[in-house]
Amino acid sequence: MAGKPKLHYTKGRGKMESIRWLLAAAGVEFEEEFIETKEDLEKLRNDGVLLFQQVPMVEIDGMRMVQTRAILSYIAAKYNLYGKDLKERAWIDMYVEGTTDLMGMIMYLPFQPADTKEKNLALIIERATTRYFPVYEKALKDHGQDYLVGNKLSWADIHLLEAILMVEECKPDVLSAFPLLQAFKGRISNIPTIKKFLQPGSQRKPPTDEKFVALVRKIFNI
């Protein structure tokens, strides 16, 4: 039997967090090997295990997978979270790309200069409430089902919940105009594997703070 997937990344959210979410939602236990110094990263590079010299990297099924999107697609397909046919997969991909764009804005916010943060935070809230969340609210309204695609839990649902919780960390009442997303959040949060991941003490990482920003800048020379 294959061992647990092993995740190589810093001890923070970043691009690995969606991978942690997806594995946890699928009920898959995983191990983490944290990159804590510049030397840790150099060792991985020098050992030739990073295809493009970048992390995240996940050891799974005898592969050393890199590139966030490739890793997520593989996990989604392996654990039956990627739709039943090409059309469902296409919808899942579109929804996931939308939430990826939104979460990317939030992910980079702590790394931005202080004088631009307030403006960019306002832009995140504006985009969430006028460009992204209305799409998911409409999808749930149009088909009247509990999940975004195929009336079955998929990667799109898990990714959307992660995005909702990230935006709520920026503005707690951001879902006030989206009753179906409020209900969706409650449903998906209570799926047993996800509920477990949302409990204190899980492998979910906290929001990025200044200490973590400083560490990341040091490790990656940014």
pLDDT of residue 2: 62
- pTM across the whole model: 0.95
The CATH homologous superfamily to which domain 6-79+198-212 belongs is: Glutaredoxin (3.40.30.10)
Residue 67 and residue 59 in contact, taking contact as beta carbons nearer than 8 Å: no
Would you state the structure tokens that stand for residue 144, as one six-digit string? Answer: 């009247």
Distance of alpha carbon 42 from alpha carbon 186, whole angstroms: 42
Q: How confident is the model at residue 221 (pLDDT cuts 50, 70, 90)?
A: confident
CATH of 86-191, one of 3.40.50.300, 3.40.30.10, 1.10.240.10, 1.20.1050.10: 1.20.1050.10
Bridge partners for 7 per DSSP: 32, 58
Q: What distance lies between CA 192 and its chain's CA centroid?
A: 18
pLDDT digits (tens, 9 = 90+) for 121-172: 999 999 999 999 999 999 999 998 999 999 999 999 999 999 999 999 999 9
At a CB cut-off of 8 Å and minimum separation 6, what does 175 contact?
Answer: 133, 164, 168, 181, 182, 185
Q: Both tokens of residue 116?
A: 């631009």
Give the distance between the most distant pair of CA atoms in the chain. 52
How many Å apart are CA 181 and CA 161, to the nearest integer? Answer: 9
**Cβ count near 178 (within 10 Å):** 19
Q: Assess whether pLDDT exceeds 90 at residue 173.
A: yes
Spans of all domains in the chain: 6-79+198-212, 86-191
Residue 1 pLDDT level (bands cut at 50, 70, 90): very low
